[in-house]
Chains A and B, each alone.
Chain A
Amino acid sequence: DIQMTQSPSTLSASVGDRVTITCRASQSISSWLAWYQQKPGKAPKLLIYKASSLESGVPSRFSGSGSGTEFTLTISSLQPDDFATYYCQQYNSYSGLTFGGGTKVEIK
Chain B
Amino acid sequence: EVQLVESGGGLVQPGRSLRLSCAASGFTFDDYAMHWVRQAPGKGLEWVSGISWNSGSIGYADSVKGRFTISRDNAKNSLYLQMNSLRAEDTALYYCAKDCGGDCYEEGAFDIWGQGTMVTVSS
Interface residues of A (CB under 8 A from B): 1, 32, 34, 36, 38, 43-46, 49-50, 53, 55, 87, 89, 91-92, 94-102
Contact = CB atoms under 8 A, between A and B. Distances in A.
A94 B44 contact: no
B114 A49 contact: no
Given A95-B59, A96-B61, A97-B50, A32 B114 contact: no
Interface of B: 35, 44-47, 50, 57, 59-62, 95, 100, 104-111, 113-116
A91 to B, nearest CB: 3
Contacts of B109: 34, 46, 49, 89, 91
Contact of B44 (A32, A34, A102): A102
Nearest to B116: A43
A34 B106 CA distance: 11
A41 to B, nearest CB: 9
